[in-house]
Chains A and B, each alone.
Chain A
Amino acid sequence: MFFTLRTSAFNFLSIGYTILILSSTLALRFLEFQPSESHDDPVQVNVLRLKWHLNLDCVEMEERKWEDLEFDCLVNVLGRVGMESLLLHVPFVCRSWHEASRSPSCWKHLVFPQDIHLTWDVTLIDKFEDYYEIHNCSEDAFIKFVVGRSHGNCTVLSLPNDCSEEVLKYIADKCPALISLSLPADHFLSSESLSILPTLIGKWEHLENLWLGSSDYLVNIITEITLACSKFSGLSVSSATIREEEASAIVTNLPNIKSLILRGARMDLENLVIILQGCKNLVHLDVRDCRGFISDDERVLELASNIKTFMCEGSMLDDDEDNHQCFVNEY
C-alpha cells in the first residue's frame, strides 16, 4: 500500500515536472524579449511559485524510513545481497522487504555456491530445506526454483558444479537475457551433461561472457557462439587442453574476442602463437601456469606486447612427462 501511494506521488511529480518544463520554455521565450534576466520577472516568479508548491505538496516532511524506501531503490540493494540472504533472510525482515524480494529484478545476478549438495557439510540446499520445511529438495529442483524467481530477467548466472542436462535445458528456455554464464566442472567427474551445451547456445543471443570448467566440446561450443551471440567478448576455460583444433577454432570463430582466460591449460607454444596472431583485439589474456611453453618466451612476449593485460607467469615446458606418467601409474 505504501508503494501505491508513493507511486502516485511520483506520477504526480512527473506530471508536475512536465508542466514546469512546458511553462519554463514559455518563460524563456518570453525572456528572449527582455534585455536581461531578472528575478522580478513575473512569469519566472510564477514558475517558481508553482515549483515550490509542487515540491512541498509531493514530499512528506517526515523523515523517510527504510521500510518504505522507494521500491526500486530497495530492490537495487536487495539484488546485491547474494543468494543465501535473498532466499533465507530478506523475505522475513518485514512486509515491504518480503514484497521487494519477490521482484524479478532482485534475481538478475545469480551466483550459486559451487557445491550445493554435499553429504559431509551443510550447504545452501540444507538451509533452504530447513527454513522452508521442505523434504528432499533435489539439486535440480532447487536451481530451477531460484532461476524461476528471475522470470526471464537473469543476466548473470553462475551454476554449481556439474549441472544436469535437465537444468541446462531449463536455463536455455528460461534465461533468454543471459549475458554472462559460468559452468564450472568437477574435475573428478566427467562432464557429460556439457555435450548438450552446443545445442543450447543459440538460445542466448545476448551472451557476452562464458566460463567453462573444461574444454570438452569447446570447438562445437565456439562454433555455435559465432552463429548466435553477436556481442560475445570473453571466454574462460579452466583446465583446458588447447590443441591446434581448439586454437584454430578460437581464431576462426572469435577473431574479435577481447578477453581470454586459459589459466592452467595444456597448450603448446605453436597453439598459443596461433591465438596471439589471430586474435588482434585481445585486451586481456591470462595464460598463467600453463604447460607447453615457457613464460619468458621472446616470441610470445613480442606478440603479446600490445595486449593491455597479458599474464603468463608460472607457465613452463611440459618436461615432466615422465614424472607425470609415474604419477598416473601410481594411481
Chain B
Amino acid sequence: MSSSTDSPTLTTETTQLSPQPDTETAKPTKKITLKSSDNQIFEVEESVAMEFATVKSFFEDSPSTDTVPLPNVTAKPLSQVIEFCKEQIKFKANPDEAQKKKYNAEFVTEKSDKDLVDMIPVANYLEIKDLLDVLNQAVADRIENKSVEYVRSFFGIDNDFTAEEEAALRREHAWAYEGVDED
C-alpha cells in the first residue's frame, strides 16, 4: 500500500519527518502532516489535505500548525481516503467527467465491504462530500434488497431489539399503514 510512489507516505511516529523550520511561512508546495488515532503519520501535499473540509478549516484557524491529529480516524481508511483525494486533485486540474466517473466507480468496486464501511465515518468526519457521495452510494448498492441479518453482519451491527420490541415494531407499522388507508 505504501510501497508505490502514489501512496501516501506512511511512517511510524518515531521515524517522523525532519523538523520543520520555525520561521518559514506557508508555501504553495507545503506538506501537511496528519496523525491517525493509531499514531500513524501521513505526509500529504497541502492541496490534498485541503480537500478535507475539517482539516482546511483547522488550518484557516491555525495556519502555522504542522501536524493535525485525527483522533477519530485510523490509518487504513485514512490512507484510502488520501488516495482518493489525490486523484480528485488531478481531475480538478484537468477536468474529465467521464474519467472521473470511471475512477470513482473503480475506486469503490475494488474495495472490500469492510473498507467501504470503515471509510464512511472518516469521509464524514473529514467532510469530503464527493467521496461521501461515492461511498454512500456504493454501500447502499451492496445492501439493497439484502436481508436484515446480512445488513447487520455487513456493518457489524448488533441487534439491540428484543423479540417483543421487534414484534411491536411490525404491529406499529400496521397501525401506521391503516391510518393512511382511512384517509
Contact = CB atoms under 8 A, between A and B. Distances in A.
Q: Do A and B bind each other?
A: yes
B7 interface: no
Contact of A89 (B74, B148, B170): B148
Contacts of A38: 22-23, 64
A39 B23 CA distance: 7
Interface in A64-83: 64-67, 69-70, 73, 76-82
B98 interface: no
Interface stretch (A133-141, A188-196, A269-277): A133-141
B90 interface: no
Contacts of A64: 72, 121, 125
Given A132-B173, A134-B174, A144-B180, A85 B145 contact: yes
Given A133-B171, A145-B176, A66 B155 contact: yes
B170 A76 contact: no
Interface stretch (B39-47, B53-61, B79-87, B100-108): B53-61
Contact of A37 (B25, B146, B181): B25
A15 to B, nearest CB: 14
Contacts of A134: 174, 177-178
A77 B177 contact: no
Interface string B12-48: 0000000000110100000000000100000000000
B23 A36 contact: yes
B146 A55 contact: no
Given A61-B37, A95-B160, A148-B180, A82 B144 contact: yes
B23 A93 contact: no
A42 to B, nearest CB: 12
Contacts of B174: 132-134
A131 interface: yes
A215 B20 CA distance: 70
A56 B65 contact: no
Nearest to B64: A39
B157 A24 contact: no
A16 to B, nearest CB: 10
A17 B54 CA distance: 11
Nearest to B183: A144
Nearest to A131: B170
A41 B65 CA distance: 12
A257 B23 CA distance: 59
B75 interface: no
B117 interface: yes
A51 interface: yes
B161 A80 contact: no
Interface residues of B, number: 54
Contacts of B166: 92
Contacts of A148: 180
Nearest to A135: B174
Contacts of B155: 66, 93
A81 B159 contact: no
B63 interface: yes
Chain B CB count within 10 A is highest, among A81, A145, A148, for: A81
Contact of A95 (B69, B124, B140, B161): B161
B122 to A, nearest CB: 9
B22 A39 contact: yes
B132 interface: yes
B1 interface: no
A144 B177 CA distance: 9
Nearest to B124: A73
Nearest to A147: B180
Nearest to A20: B61
Nearest to A70: B124
Contacts of A94: 152, 157-161
A303 interface: no
Contacts of B169: 91-92, 98
A131 B169 CA distance: 10
Contacts of B183: 144
Contacts of A52: 69
Contact of B62 (A47, A61, A70): A47
Contacts of B156: 65-66
B177 A145 contact: yes
A133 B58 CA distance: 52
Contacts of A77: 120, 136, 139-140
Given A17-B57, A132-B170, A67 B62 contact: no
Interface of A: 17, 20-21, 24, 36-41, 44, 47-48, 51-52, 55-56, 59-61, 63-67, 69-70, 73, 76-82, 84-85, 89-95, 97-98, 131-134, 137-138, 141, 144-145, 148
15 contacts: A38-B23, A39-B64, A65-B157, A66-B155, A66-B157, A73-B132, A79-B140, A80-B137, A80-B141, A82-B144, A92-B161, A134-B178, A141-B181, A144-B180, A144-B181
